[in-house]
Amino acid sequence: PPALGAPKLKREDYPRIGASSRSVVWIAAQMHLFFAAFVLAVPLFVLVIEWIGMRSGDDRYDDMAHEFMKITMTAYSITALLGGFLAFSLFLLYPQLMAYMMRVFNIQVLVYAALFFAESALLYIYYYSWSALRYGNKKWLHLTVGLGLNVAGTTLLVVANAWVTFMMAPTGVDASGAVVGSIWEII
């Protein structure tokens, strides 16, 4: 079957909501980005602090790392809510564009979802197992979970960045926007 090109839209093809669609999406995206950056950075910082505490034997580092993770738990929930609002806004206000993007990235959207659930699971395991895995050789298991959390979060960011780079400088598509390359060319 022939590849479908990008939609050719006019202003009247977009729903009117009484406010600027661009502003709604921009605010949702910007707030999601702020919180996502925090949620990505703090666990990296926490892992280093926890490792220093384990190596030095000073429980104050471990306590401080755990306190930082308390903040992250709330920020993660806010990030997920803002991400859901962003997705809802994009699909509601730009349905043809999002249908096109879903065709372009196809299975990669499922990879993103799987990474999101993996990061969520690892975040909750990391936080709620802190006391049980605090001492002895169990600390290595806890640090490994923290490392997995950071790998999942960083990989999630890389996938999302691939979508943004495609929108900024598309490759792997012809002049009509039809996909002609592999997923690696697209990202």
pLDDT in tens, 125-158: 999 999 999 999 999 999 999 999 999 999 999 9
> Do 142 and 50 meet the contact criterion of CB atoms below 8 Å apart?
yes
How large is the average pLDDT for residues 36-49? 96
Beta bridge partner(s), residue 179:
173
Could you give the CA distance from residue 160 to residue 173 in angstroms, rounded to a whole number? 19
pLDDT in tens, 3-39: 677 878 887 777 778 888 889 999 999 999 999 999 9
Rounded (10°) angle between helices 95-105 and 59-93: 120
pTM of the model: 0.86
pLDDT of residue 38: 96
124-152 CB burial, b ≥16 within 10 A, e <16: ebbbeebeebbeeeebeebbebbbbbbeb
pLDDT of residue 138: 96
Q: Give ∠ CA 83-150-64 in degrees, rounded to 5.
A: 100
Could you give the CA distance from residue 127 to residue 77 in angstroms, rounded to a whole number? 14
SS3 content of the chain, % helix, strand, coil (to 5): 75, 0, 25
Beta bridge partner(s), residue 173:
179
Could you give the CA distance from residue 75 to residue 117 in angstroms, rounded to a whole number? 16
Per the structure block, which two tokens stand in for 9? 């839209």
pLDDT of residue 6: 81
pLDDT of residue 2: 56
